[in-house]
Structure 1
Amino acid sequence: MLDVRRLALLAAVLDSGSMTAAAEQLGYSPSAVSQQLRRLEAEAGQPLLHRQARGVRPTEAGALLAGHARHLVRRLEAAEADLAELAGLRRGTLAVGTFPTVASALMPLVVSRFRRQYPDIRLDVRSARLDELLTMLENGTVGLSLLWDYDWHRMDAQEFSLTPLLDDPTVVVLAQDHRLARRRQTSMAELADEDWIVRAHDHPVAEVLERSCRAAGFTPRISFQANDYQEAQAMVSVGLGIALAPRTAVTTPHPDVRVLSLGRDAPSRRILLAHRQDRLRAPAELAMHQLLVDIAREYQTRG
């Protein structure tokens, strides 16, 4: 196979008119240029240059290869320019995974700021369930993703590099006319006699409710199973029961509910930023990583 660097050297010699001129232009010695061209002739299996007292001229094969070499050099220069644009965050696509509660609480801030700072990078934001996000990370559909876990089932850090972003506390959602609605904080013990609205289909917040109630010494009485947090808030607003939710899920609460802190009575979930350990990370991905860290810190401080 022909050596691309030697082909480029051949084109440089012919374009400059001599080995000496090409050597000065490229920072080689004339003898090194001559040696590399002889190796190229050996690779080609025929002479490429007519060596004369004053410079060189190509053989037919030399002229043919020099034309191809000039095309290759232009393509390589274009490739380097494209890479420079990617490195300079002036083009490209970035795929990011997220999940619904954080997508509504944090991602609008993230997307807005990223687009202002890097307007030429196309964002592909994908919201999905936890198992789908893990699959997308594994197969490379997304380069990085927001994930979550609780302390009884921590995310495995063997396959993914995990950056903790913030703690998302569990809060209780009450109707605005509830007996505790004027409070800012309550305890699980004060809620022992309440009816509960819980997420259906073995949702993680159902386990949070079970663990929190058990720690407080009672078993929750379930009045309704909701398919999402909006439905849960709607049922709370009409007095069907009360509900637990991560704080990010009630960033914009229903107008007829109140959100109270539970302090340490209910476990918080951990919001994580993950990327695959073996992945070479592009500049746009590194920029998004830092932006997520910064915005999560701001969000936590406001909370």
Structure 2
Amino acid sequence: MIERSHLAILREVHRRGSLTAAADALYLSQSALSHSMKKLEQQLGTPVWSKSGRNLHFTQAGNYLLRLAERVLPQFEHAEAQMQQFASGQRGTLRIGMECHPCYQWLLKVVNPYLKTWPDVDVDVKQKFQFGGLGALFGYEIDVLVTPDPLLRPGIRYIPVFDYEQVLVVNEQSPLAAAEYIAPEMLMDKTLITYPVEQSRLDIYTSFLTPAKCSPRKHKRIETTDIMLQMVAADRGVAALPKWLAKEYEEKLPIVSVRLGITGIHKNIHLGVRETDLNIDYLSAFITLADSLSEHSKTGAE
């Protein structure tokens, strides 16, 4: 019975002081406005206002509906504004899936300025995807996949946003620290520390050790970067990490990074997104920001 248009009329009549002014504000004819309210009064069985000359007075029922209008209409208007922002890509939750452990450290450098630029967009980071994020992207569990190893599939676009070099991190007193570069056979008597990822997805194996038919003496898996590099600092092993990340820890731990092979192992962090989502403003803005911040930091990553 009571419709939003009735509440809007009551609010405008109260604001403007007359039916004519309220009709103009609502882009209605005065007759249409009056007809709508008469029909409401018939349905309610009670008048909502009374006239005394040119003056209009709300009845008790009218005042009740006016208070309802003042509570409800702003909520409708706020919800509509929110929906418009969702539709235009100005508001939402950006769900990011991580396929590599050190990528999280890079992501933190992007998220902080992004949240300041997009105050109406939340960011949710999911780190459970150890090279299983593509299915989550197809399944709409996430909106962006951060990965150094893109798997090309129809409907998915990968944007390279940050290039880096994979290096070997060693104790600064280790004989390896003085080497110009590391050859695969130099690791055959070492303990190699990596993240808990299957060997076939580790660059130190696929791009360095396996092609040379070499293996480390021992392979140890550690979840966190901090503990991994504490182990290296204690000369309990060596680790392969992005150079930019290793450089950050070199400032506080007795470790150094050495190139892997004569030419090094060079990688890119990619952002994988569904092609149908590329027109979402807050998502495309995240990609643009990630790329621009990476351009400023490439000197430290080389």
TM-score (norm 2): 0.65
Q: 1:86-235 counterparts in 2 under 5 A? A: 100-107=101-108, 109-110=109-110, 113=113, 117=116, 126=125, 128-131=127-130, 134=133, 147-150=146-149, 154=151, 158=155, 163-176=159-172, 181-186=177-182, 188=184, 191=186, 195-199=190-194, 201-203=196-198, 207-213=202-208, 216-228=211-223, 229-230=225-226, 232-233=228-229
Hey, what's the Cα distance between the residues in 2 that align with 1:2 and 1:273?
48
Question: How far, CA to CA, are the matches of 1:263 and 1:35 in structure 2?
Answer: 86
* CA–CA separation in structure 2 for the residues paired with 1:13 and 1:121: 34
Structure 1: which 5+ residue stretches go unaligned? none
Which whole-Å CA distance do the structure 2 matches of 1:214 and 1:133 have between them? 24
Cα distance per residue 1:176-205 (max 9 Å; x no partner): 4555534554554x6475545142644457
Q: Is the 8 A contact 2:48 2:62 kept in 1?
A: yes
* 2:292 counterpart of 1:294: yes
Query: Which residue identity is paired with 1:165?
Result: V
Change (3 A) 1:14 1:148: closer
Maintained 8 Å contact 1:197/1:223: yes
1:92-129 per-residue CA deviation (whole Å, 9 max, x = no partner) reads 9987665642333451x3455457x4697797775734
- Unpaired segments ≥5 residues, structure 2: none
Moved more, 38-47 or 130-139: 130-139
Taking a change above 3 Å as real, the CA distance of residues 247 and 10 of structure 1, as seen in their structure-2 partners, is: same
Q: CA deviation at 1:4?
A: 0.7
Q: CA deviation at 1:207?
A: 3.7
> Identity percentage over the alignment?
21
How many residues end up aligned between the 2 structures? 291
Q: Structure 1 counterpart of 2:271, which letter?
A: L
Contact 1:205 1:245 in 2 (8 A): no
Cα separation, partners in 2 of 1:39 and 1:298, compared to 1, 3 Å: farther
The range that moved more, 19-28 or 74-83, is 74-83
Q: Take 1:198 and 1:278, find their aligned partners in 2: how far apart are those partners?
A: 38
1:206/1:196 CA distance change after superposition, 3 Å: farther
Question: Is the Cα contact below 8 Å between 1:171 and 1:247 reproduced in 2?
Answer: yes
Residue aligning to 2:18 = 18
Seen in structure 2, the aligned counterparts of structure 1 residues 293 and 2 have a Cα distance that, compared at 3 Å, is: farther
- CA distance, structure 2, for counterparts of residue 74 and residue 123 of structure 1: 23
Q: Which amino acid aligns with 1:291?
A: L
Tell me how far apart the structure 2 counterparts of residues 161 and 5 of structure 1 sit (CA, whole Å).
45
Inter-partner Cα distance in structure 1 for 2:152 and 2:230 = 32
Supply the AA of the counterpart residue of 2:240: L
TM-score where L is the length of structure 1: 0.65
